[in-house]
């Protein structure tokens, strides 16, 4: 037996008996990207999750977080598929690039009345959404949300017709949404998030539908001083990781990391919902004008939303998922009404 073979045999024999690191596996590296700005509560909770993962996994798992990504969510999905990153926190816009079913939680305007309804429906259809994403090669680490979309504008407005005169921001990479807005008589302009503030400044756009926490964090209110006090759609999303990467982690440790992620998700939901309200107060101190919504105004927006449903059911939200959301809402509302009596 030559010297090389003898050394190999010794290593194979001794490693199981406790030769430190002789044949230890390389750490599983998870590179997670998000458009969440650095310093927001969502980003801080991700950093806390990373610290908890490090404590639980030691050197076995390395989680790196890239926050404030300006690439846009569709591009983040492409990067995951190309293995440039292998995890991301995405809203329903990005998740829909993987499977359109997730759009049901965010792209159905005025379908949900409050967070109780959002939570109930999400949990009702969550197993199916996660199964669909898994079939595409991605595991859900947790579900979260980031406030209600409100209309911020450079000029005052109340009724839907008021906003048809203005140029409306639409997130890049969602061409069907552009078509729907045009069909409803609006002037949509497709942009990435980092283009919003300069475009408001130049007049390229004059209306930005975003949650208040984001408007405050990115200072959109400096240009768009009016906010319509109407919950249009919730921003709902999830943290996902490539299944092939996730399954490199031993099952027992995966379960432990999943529990830590669930705790982080609960904190993110609680804090971002409160952050939305706090952001409105902070922006009012800096000149934001909150425009109240009368029953007549709300009814006009509800009519507009319902006009959009036939355009959304099928082309954006799969018809069977759209129907399951409506059925779950009917179930929740019936139970709530019965409980009130």
Name the band, by pLDDT with cuts 50, 70 and 90, for residue 16: very low
Q: Which stretch of DSSP H or E encloses residue 228?
A: strand 226-228
Q: Tokens 């919902």 identify what position?
A: 273
3-class DSSP state of 111: coil
Q: Which two tokens stand for residue 176?
A: 């069907």
* Per-residue pLDDT tens over the stretch 29-46: 999 999 887 888 888 999
What would the two tokens of residue 98 be?
Answer: 């993987």
Which of the pair, 25 or 14, is modelled with greater confidence? Answer: 25
Predicted pLDDT of residue 35:
84
Q: In the structure encoding, which two tokens stand for residue 53, read together?
A: 């993962």
Residue 19 has pLDDT above 60, yes or no: no
pLDDT at 42: 84
Q: Summarize the confidence of residues 20-26 as an average pLDDT.
A: 48
At residue 22, the pLDDT reads 33
242-253 pLDDT, tens digit each: 999 999 999 999
Q: Is the pLDDT of residue 21 over 80?
A: no
168 contacts 209 by C-beta, under 8 angstroms = yes
Q: Which two tokens stand for residue 65?
A: 């977080």
Residue 6 pLDDT grade (very low, low, confident, very high; cuts 50, 70, 90): very low
CATH code of 27-316, in short, is 3.40.190.170
**pLDDT tens digit string along 141-171?**
999 988 999 999 999 999 999 999 999 999 8
For residues 279 and 86, what is the distance between their CA atoms, to the nearest angstrom?
Answer: 32
Q: What is the C-alpha to C-alpha distance for residues 261 and 258, in angstroms, rounded to an integer?
A: 5
Q: How confident is the model at residue 14 (pLDDT cuts 50, 70, 90)?
A: very low
Among all chains, which residue has been given the structure tokens 């906010």? Answer: 227
Q: Is the pLDDT of residue 5 over 60?
A: no
Please give the pLDDT value at position 205: 95
* Average pLDDT score, the chain: 88
- pLDDT tens for each residue of 50-78: 999 999 999 999 999 998 887 778 889 99
Q: What is the C-alpha separation between 217 and 114, in angstroms, rounded? A: 23
- Assess whether pLDDT exceeds 70 at residue 18: no
Report pLDDT for 25. 66
At residue 199, does pLDDT exceed 50?
yes
The pLDDT of residue 191 is above 60: yes
- Ramachandran region, residue 97 (left: φ > 0; alpha: ψ -120 to 50; beta: rest): alpha
Q: How far apart are CA 125 and CA 104, in angstroms?
A: 10
């Amino acid at each position: 037996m030559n010297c090389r073979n003898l050394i190999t045999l010794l290593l194979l024999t001794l490693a199981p008996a406790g030769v430190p690191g002789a044949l230890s596996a390389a750490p599983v590296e998870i590179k997670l990207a998000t458009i969440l700005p650095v310093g927001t509560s969502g980003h801080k909770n991700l950093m806390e999750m990373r610290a908890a993962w490090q404590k639980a996994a030691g050197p076995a798992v390395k989680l790196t977080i890239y926050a404030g990504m300006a690439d846009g969510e569709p591009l983040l999905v492409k990067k995951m598929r190309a293995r440039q990153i292998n995890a991301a926190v995405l809203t329903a816009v990005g998740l829909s690039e993987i499977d359109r079913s997730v759009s049901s939680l965010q792209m159905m305007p005025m379908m949900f009345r409050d967070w109780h309804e959002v939570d109930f429906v999400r949990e009702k259809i969550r197993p199916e959404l996660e199964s669909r994403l898994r079939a595409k090669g991605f595991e859900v680490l947790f579900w979260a949300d980031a406030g209600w979309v409100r209309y911020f504008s450079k000029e005052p407005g109340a009724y839907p017709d008021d906003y048809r005169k203005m140029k409306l921001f639409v997130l890049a990479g969602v061409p069907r949404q552009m078509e729907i807005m045009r069909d409803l008589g609006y002037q949509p302009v497709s942009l990435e998030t980092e283009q919003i503030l300069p475009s408001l400044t130049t007049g390229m756009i004059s209306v930005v539908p975003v949650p208040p926490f984001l408007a405050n964090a990115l200072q959109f209110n400096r240009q768009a001083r009016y906010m319509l006090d109407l919950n249009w759609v919730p921003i709902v999303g999830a943290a996902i990781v490539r299944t092939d990467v996730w399954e490199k982690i031993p099952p027992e440790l995966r379960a432990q990391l999943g529990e830590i992620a669930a705790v982080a998700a609960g904190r993110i939901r609680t804090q971002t919902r409160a952050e939305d309200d706090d952001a409105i107060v902070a922006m009012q101190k800096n000149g934001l004008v909150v425009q109240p919504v009368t029953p007549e105004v709300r009814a006009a927006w509800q009519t507009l939303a319902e006009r959009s449903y036939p355009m959304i059911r099928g082309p954006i939200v799969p018809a069977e998922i759209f129907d399951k959301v409506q059925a779950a809402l009917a179930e929740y509302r019936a139970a709530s009404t019965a409980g009130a009596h």
